[in-house]
Structure 1
Amino acid sequence: MAIVLGAIADDFTGAADLCNTLVQKGIRTVQVIGAPGANTDPGDAEAVVVALKSRTAPADQAIEQSLAAYDWLIAHGAEQVIEKYCSTFDSTPQGNIGPVTDALMDRSGAKTVVVCPAVPEAGRTVYQGHLFVWGDLLSDSSMKDHPLTPMRDASLVRLMERQSRGSAGVVPLQVVRQGPEAVRTALSTLADAGHRYAVVDAIEPNDLCAIGTAVRDHPIVSGGSGLALGLPGNLGRAGRLALAEPFSPSAALGRKLVLAGSCSPATRNQVRRAASLWPARKLDVDALAEGQDVVSEHSAWAMAQPADQPVLIYGSAGPEEVAAVQGRY
């Protein structure tokens, strides 16, 4: 059975987030780690999300991996492909979101691609072409000090234009609220005006559903996991998907391990909270760099903890510690 929907995510956790969105919409979804190969079998999946580790990779490397994933998805039946990146964009002017988007557009023949990283339930919204995090401009949020991708500009138009080879326009919220046909008309108008990228406002889930419905004929769409809210319905209405009931996971059995590696303020706050409730241990980066068997040591520690509660192993650190480690290595 061929898949009908594909996605290329620039990191593992973002891919898992997108998988969750699709599964909650009733789509059988498989996550593949790394670019799939000739022997990768999607089984009976209706959607495949390819999880790359390309967010901070050089543009040429990210393009190569993304195109390999795209070609595999198309060869296995994908009728539409989502380019999934972080809901806080996480890409400096030297980043690869723009170059990867351009490469996917060239490969697919797309004339215009939607740019919408909004995920309202996570506080990420787009208004007047600007990205907000819990009501603050991206450039005023904690992401401005991210150790790898400091975000100092909230304008998605400028962010795209600085790292790509075309111009961007905006589909404002008042158009989105008029429904899918109005969005579709606005996208065509931007394409006719020569804009390759259409930054679309969205501040509520219904906005994302309208956008998703509007792009039913677009071979490529780009944004956060929220953009997938409106895509499955298109395939269902076209008879390409028999949407099932949302998946309800059962409680996990056995021991539970939580791993945290992000150095973002949100993750560090979560680590502090978890460490106050569960056994927690921080990875020794210097020991790792020196080749010590840190994995076995931490595994033994985790297995020695009470089995009736989760344990946390983390490498998350603040900006000063991250800078010091980067300076040493």
Structure 2
Amino acid sequence: MSQLLLGCIADDFTGGTDLASTLVRGGMRTLQVVGVPDGPLPDDIDAVVIALKSRTVSCEVAVSESLKALHWLRAAGCQQFFFKYCSTFDSTPSGNIGPVADALAEALGVTFVVACPAFPENKRTIFQGHLFVGDLLLSESGMRNHPLTPMTDANLVRVLQQQTHKLVGLVAHGIVRQGVDALSLAFRDLEAQGCGYAIVDAIDDEQLYAIGHAAASHKLVTGGSGVALGLPDNFRRAGLMGEHDAASTLPYIDGLGAVVSGSCSLATNAQVDCWRKNRPSFALDPLLLANGHDQVSEALEWARDLIHAGPVLIYASAEPESVKYAQRKLGIEAAGELVESALSAVAVGLYHMGVRKLVVAGGETSGAVVKALGVRALRIGALIDPGVPWTVGLRNDPVALALKSGNFGSVDFFEKALANAP
């Protein structure tokens, strides 16, 4: 095994891919693994991202799985650790961001931790402790209607404080814009005041680089992928890592293309609508699935006649009203599990038809698809859109996967992704 420098724990699959792509852009050779590895990794990597499915499970399970990942990363010799959560701070009043961060900090003997989910490239910024999505406060954005983690408060200090017994402070924009030295001093001052966490403002990438540089000596950093922008340079300056210009190179993958989508976010719904205008699509309905209707077989039969002429879309994405109706009828968890199970079965069926370039929309859907395809590790390639790279799943017959968080990507993302597949 190589000497790993940075060990990362992501609370969902697409979030892990987002973080891995950020590190690759910084020249860090990065591998994403699905769950805690059960064997040796390739020796040519500087960072590993362990992608869990811990965002919406119980706090107890999230903490347990995260600590198992941390134990593996420490045994692998990692020098710094990163807990990655969504740039929209997806969580409930009871967790899971706070409880997992608390557990990781305690295990590492850390008393002060930065928390910064900002991702300006994708229009997620933090100002005076408030998270904005574009020009809207988080609480006024589409995230207020998220089916699993509705975000109704944009004040991140208040949100995180509900999830931890530690005091949560703020490093506001007036300090952040002064750069690395001011940030380092602010971190020390807050720790001296008894704060266990600091929400850190950031409105552009330059500030994220500064935050990352100021956290060079921190054993644990938490946030969205944006705050990881400055971490590769830290290792390079310390003489621990060289230049790796080809960190994002992926092998060519030959095969058909397709899209499966389970996300019901505003961005994904717009992408589905864009595709449906000119390209073939098939909609799954959780209520029909629950009634025993074999829509998976129907979708695959439909695709079999079309897919050799061009990519197809099979989706369960829907507008918020439809999602809430299905959840009331079936229960939130049951509805989600039905969709994930169906789409992962669809993905396996498409694979058997010769699909080797697959775009997947939605974090939970991506996790289910990756597991169903038997992929345990992903090589990370170049970005398609901010936060979404192509990857290649390492298996005997490799498959190219673009795993997209529901909120990410331009309106024509599906078409763009397949046009630039490895």
TM-score class, shorter: over 0.9
Q: Specify the code of the residue in structure 2 equivalent to 1:52.
A: L
Deviation at 1:327, TM superposition (A): 2.5
Mapping of residues 27-106 of structure 1, within 5 Å: 27-37=28-38, 39-106=39-106
| Preserved CA contact (<8 Å) 1:118 1:226 | yes
Q: Specify the code of the residue in structure 2 equivalent to 1:235.
A: F
* 2:356 counterpart residue number: none
Output one character per residue of 1:192-220: Cα deviation in whole Å (capped at 9) or x when no partner.
Answer: 00001111111101110000000011111
- Percent same amino acid among aligned pairs? 49
Deviation at 1:289, TM superposition (A): 3.5
Deviation at 1:4, TM superposition (A): 0.9
Q: Does 1:186 align with 2:225?
A: no
* 1:266 counterpart residue number: 267
Bigger mean CA offset, 301-310 vs 112-121: 301-310
Q: Specify the code of the residue in structure 2 equivalent to 1:192.
A: A
Structure 1 residues 176 and 304, CA gap change in structure 2 (3 angstroms): same
* 1:156 counterpart residue number: 156
Rounded Cα–Cα distance in structure 2 between residues aligned with 1:43 and 1:53: 26
| Preserved CA contact (<8 Å) 1:88 1:138 | yes
* 1:316 counterpart residue number: 317
Secondary structure (helix, strand or coil) at the match of 1:211 reads helix
Structure 1 residues 119 and 251, CA gap change in structure 2 (3 angstroms): farther
| Preserved CA contact (<8 Å) 1:42 1:48 | no
Mapping of residues 1-329 of structure 1, within 5 Å: 1-37=2-38, 39-245=39-245, 247=248, 253-289=254-290, 294-307=295-308, 309-329=310-330
Structure 1 residues 287 and 123, CA gap change in structure 2 (3 angstroms): same
Rounded Cα–Cα distance in structure 2 between residues aligned with 1:277 and 1:228: 38
Bigger mean CA offset, 81-90 vs 241-250: 241-250
Secondary structure (helix, strand or coil) at the match of 2:32 reads strand
Output one character per residue of 1:217-242: Cα deviation in whole Å (capped at 9) or x when no partner.
Answer: 11111111111110000011111111
More strand per residue: 1 or 2? Answer: 2
Q: TM-score, normalised by structure 2?
A: 0.74
Rounded Cα–Cα distance in structure 2 between residues aligned with 1:291 and 1:10: 32
Deviation at 1:78, TM superposition (A): 1.3
Rounded Cα–Cα distance in structure 1 between residues aligned with 2:44 and 2:149: 37
Rounded Cα–Cα distance in structure 2 between residues aligned with 1:2 and 1:205: 29
- Equivalent pairs counted in the alignment come to 328
Deviation at 1:297, TM superposition (A): 4.0
Q: Tell me the C-alpha RMSD between the 2 structures.
A: 1.8
Rounded Cα–Cα distance in structure 2 between residues aligned with 1:293 and 1:241: 52
Rounded Cα–Cα distance in structure 1 between residues aligned with 2:310 and 2:180: 47
Rounded Cα–Cα distance in structure 2 between residues aligned with 1:241 and 1:90: 33
Rounded Cα–Cα distance in structure 1 between residues aligned with 2:253 and 2:175: 44
Rounded Cα–Cα distance in structure 1 between residues aligned with 2:282 and 2:86: 27
Deviation at 1:173, TM superposition (A): 1.6
* 2:350 counterpart residue number: none
Gapped regions of structure 2 (runs ≥ 5): 331-422
Deviation at 1:300, TM superposition (A): 3.8
Deviation at 1:316, TM superposition (A): 1.2
Output one character per residue of 1:61-106: Cα deviation in whole Å (capped at 9) or x when no partner.
Answer: 1000001011111111211111111100111202211000100110
Secondary structure (helix, strand or coil) at the match of 1:256 reads strand
Deviation at 1:303, TM superposition (A): 3.5
Structure 1 residues 290 and 46, CA gap change in structure 2 (3 angstroms): farther
Secondary structure (helix, strand or coil) at the match of 1:313 reads strand
